[in-house]
Chain A
Amino acid sequence: MRPLRLLLLLLPALAWAAPDAPAPYAPKFARIAQPADILSWDLCPKPAYPRASIRNEETGVVTLSFTVAASGHLLGAAVARSSGFPNLDNAAYAALTRCRFRPASLDGQPVQASMQVQYVWTLD
C-alpha cells in the first residue's frame, strides 16, 4: 500500500510543476506588413498652442504612443515621453484623439498595431 499512497501524494506536485502544453507561438514582430498610419493630416485637427504655454514660453517635444484597431479606430493613446509641460502634453493628446487612422495590414488584411507620434512645440 505504501508505494501507492506516495504516488497519490506526488500527483498534485507533478501537476503544479509540469509545464503547460504551450500554445503554438507566432512571432509578433512579423505580424505587421504595413504599419498603421494617420489616414490624412487633413483630418487631424492641428492643436492650438495653449495660451498659458505661450505666456510661459513653454516648448518641447511630446511623444505619444497609440494603438490603432483593425477598424481604424483609436484603441488607446498615452504620453510616452512628456514635453515637461502638462498643457502641451494634453493639447497634443487631445488633438491625436481627434485623428482618423489607416489600420496596419498583414497579407492584405487589416490588423491592430501600435505607433508613436511626436508633437514638436516651438516658439521662435
Chain B
Amino acid sequence: MDTRLKRALILCLLAASGSASAQLPAAGSAAAIGCDTPVYQLDPDGLARARQALDAARAAPGPHDLALAAAQADLAFATARQSGPLPQRDANRKAALDLAERAQAIWNAAPPSAALGQDILRRGRTARNAAHCPLALNLLESALAVADKAGGAGDPLALSVARELMLLATAMGDDPTVTMLAPRLLAALDADPAPLDGANYQAYLAAADHYYRSEDHERAEALVNGLIDKAKASGADPAKLRRLEFERASIYYAQGRYKEAEALAALADRPRARPDGLRADMKRVEEEMAGQVRSGRLQAALATGEAQLARLEAGRAASAAALQAAEAEWEAAKKEGKRDALAAARTRYATERRDGIVWQYGLANMESYVGEVQHALGRFELALPLYEKALEHYPAAGGANVYDIERVRGDLALVCRARGEKARALALQQQVKATLLPLLGAQHPDVREAEAQIAQLGNAALEPAPAPLAPAKRKK
C-alpha cells in the first residue's frame, strides 16, 4: 500500500427532495476489528516447526495433555495464516479450525485455571489481530469456558474475555454468539470493575446495539442507562455522555416516546451547508406550498405552485441557452489551445451543466407538486399531464431520483384508476412495485401500498369481460 495516500471519507446528507445538501464531519469510528482481509504470510519453515512441535507434543503431551493442546493451537494459527491460492487458503482455514476444536476439547477437560484462560486469550488475540476471525472466535470461546470454570461468570478475567468476544462476534456478524453474550454483559455492567473506556465501552455499546436491533428496547434502555450512570460517576467527557444520550434518544423513538426523544436529539450538532441561492429559493417556495396544503388552502397552494412553475420553466430555458453558450465557448477554447481560457471555459460549462440539472429537478418536482394539488382537488384531467411531464423531466431515469419518480408514478396510477383507465393504472403500479421491491423489501409500506393497488386492480381485471354486443337489428 502506498503510505503517501491519504484516505478520506466525506459524508453528505441530502434532503429527500435533493434540493438541499450538507457536508457533515466524518465521525470517529468504533473500535474496529477487521475480518474482511486476513493477513497471510508464506512461511513454510514456521509451518514445519509447528508440525514438529505437534509431533513432539504427541509423544509427550504433558499434564492433562495441555502441551498437546498448545501445540495444536500453534499449528492452527501457523496453518491459517499461510498464504497461497484461494482454494488452498480455504482448506487451511478448515484444517486450522479442526485443530483448534481438538485443542478446545482438551482445554475443556483440563482442570481450569486463570493461567490457562490467560494463555488461550493471548492466542485468541493473536489470531484476531491477524484478522483470522473464525479461529480467533474459537479460541476466545475456549478462553471464556476455561475462565468461567476457573473463576465464575463474575470473574474479572471471564468478563474481560466476554467483552472481547462480544466485539469480535459483532464484527463477524455472529448473531448467536452476540445473543448469548448480551444478557451476560447487561447483568455484569453495574459490578464490572474495569474502566469504561476503549474496547470495554465498545463491548457494552455493541450489546446495547444488539438489543436495539432486536427491538428489545427495554434491555437496550437498561444498558444505555447503566452506561450513562457509570460514565457520569467516572466523570466521563461530555462527548461520551452526549453520544450515550443520542443512543437513548434512538431507543425512545423506537418506543414511541417521541417528545422525550426529541428533547435528547435537540442536543445534536448538525452542521449543514447553506443551500445555494437557486436551491434555497426552490426550497422556500416548496415549503410555502406545503404549509398552504397542510392548512387546507389548496387554491392558494395551486396559485403559488403555478407561479413557481412559470418561473422554473423560464429559468430552465435560460439555463439551457447558457449551457449551449458555455459549450460553444469550451469548444472554441479547445481549438485555441490556451490553457487558462480552456480551464475557465471548462469550469463555466460544468457550472452551467450543474445548474441545468438543478433547474430541471426543481421543475420536475414542482410539476408533480402542482399535479398533487390538482389531484387533491379532484381535477384528474389536469393532474394527469402534470404527472406525466414530471416523470419526463426528472434528470435521471432512476438512480438518485428513484423515490421521487416512483412516488409520481404511483400518483399517476391513482389518477388513471380514478379516470377508469384500470389497465394503465395496473401497469404503472406493477412498475412501482418492480422498482421498489428490490430496493426496499416486501415489508416496506410503499411496496405494500403498490401491492394492495395491484391486488384491487387485478381483481377488477379478472371480472368477466363484457360479452360483445350483438349488432342491433333494424326494425322493419
Which of A42, A113, A117, A120 is B246 in contact with, Cβ under 8 Å? Answer: A42
Which of B402, B438, B443 is A65 in contact with, Cβ under 8 Å? Answer: B402
A43 contacts B7, CB within 8 Å? no
A121 to B6, CA, bound (A): 11
Given A16-B466, A38-B13: A123 and B5 within 8 A (CB)? yes
- Overall SS of chain A's interface: mixed
A27 contacts B25, CB within 8 Å? no
Which of A25, A50, A73 is B254 in contact with, Cβ under 8 Å? Answer: A73
- Cβ contacts under 8 Å, B112 to chain A: none
A46 to B11, CA, bound (A): 9
A35 to chain B, nearest CB (A): 6
Which of B1, B11, B444 is A41 in contact with, Cβ under 8 Å? Answer: B11
A61 to B414, CA, bound (A): 35
B13 contacts A117, CB within 8 Å? yes
Say if the beta carbon of A48 comes within 8 Å of chain B: yes
A44-66 CB contacts (< 8 Å) to partner B: 44-52, 54-55, 57, 63, 65
Given A30-B293, A41-B24: A75 and B444 within 8 A (CB)? yes
B373 to chain A, nearest CB (A): 6
A46 contacts B27, CB within 8 Å? yes
A54 to B8, CA, bound (A): 11
Map CB proximity to A onto B233-260 as digits: 1 under 8 Å, 0 otherwise. Answer: 0000001001100110110011010100
Nearest chain-B residue to A75 (Cβ)? B444
Say if the beta carbon of B372 comes within 8 Å of chain A: yes
- Cβ contacts under 8 Å, A113 to chain B: 16
Map CB proximity to A onto B15-27 as digits: 1 under 8 Å, 0 otherwise. Answer: 1101001001111
A48 to B419, CA, bound (A): 52
Map CB proximity to A onto B445-476 as digits: 1 under 8 Å, 0 otherwise. Answer: 11000000000000010011111010000000
- Cβ contacts under 8 Å, B398 to chain A: 80
Which of A25, A45, A115 is B29 in contact with, Cβ under 8 Å? Answer: A45
- Cβ contacts under 8 Å, B417 to chain A: 19-20, 22
Which of A13, A80, A118 is B466 in contact with, Cβ under 8 Å? Answer: A13
Number of B positions contacting A (CB below 8 A): 88
A81 contacts B11, CB within 8 Å? no
Given A27-B293, A29-B369, A102-B253: A9 and B14 within 8 A (CB)? no
B289 contacts A30, CB within 8 Å? yes
- Cβ contacts under 8 Å, B293 to chain A: 26-27, 29-30
- Cβ contacts under 8 Å, B11 to chain A: 41, 44, 117-120
B29 contacts A48, CB within 8 Å? yes
Which of B18, B290, B373, B440 is A78 in contact with, Cβ under 8 Å? Answer: B440
A9 contacts B466, CB within 8 Å? yes
B286 contacts A115, CB within 8 Å? no
Map CB proximity to A onto B403-433 as digits: 1 under 8 Å, 0 otherwise. Answer: 1000100010010011110100000000000
Which of B21, B36, B265, B396 is A50 in contact with, Cβ under 8 Å? Answer: B36
Say if the beta carbon of A1 comes within 8 Å of chain B: no
For the complex of A and B, list the 10 residue pairs with the smallest distance between their C-beta atoms, beginning with the closest: A76-B440, A72-B253, A13-B466, A30-B293, A27-B372, A78-B439, A22-B418, A118-B12, A100-B250, A41-B27
21 residue pairs bridging A and B, Cβ less than 8 Å apart: A10-B466, A16-B463, A19-B420, A22-B378, A22-B418, A27-B375, A27-B376, A29-B369, A32-B290, A40-B242, A57-B5, A67-B403, A75-B443, A76-B441, A78-B440, A100-B250, A102-B249, A110-B258, A118-B12, A120-B9, A124-B5
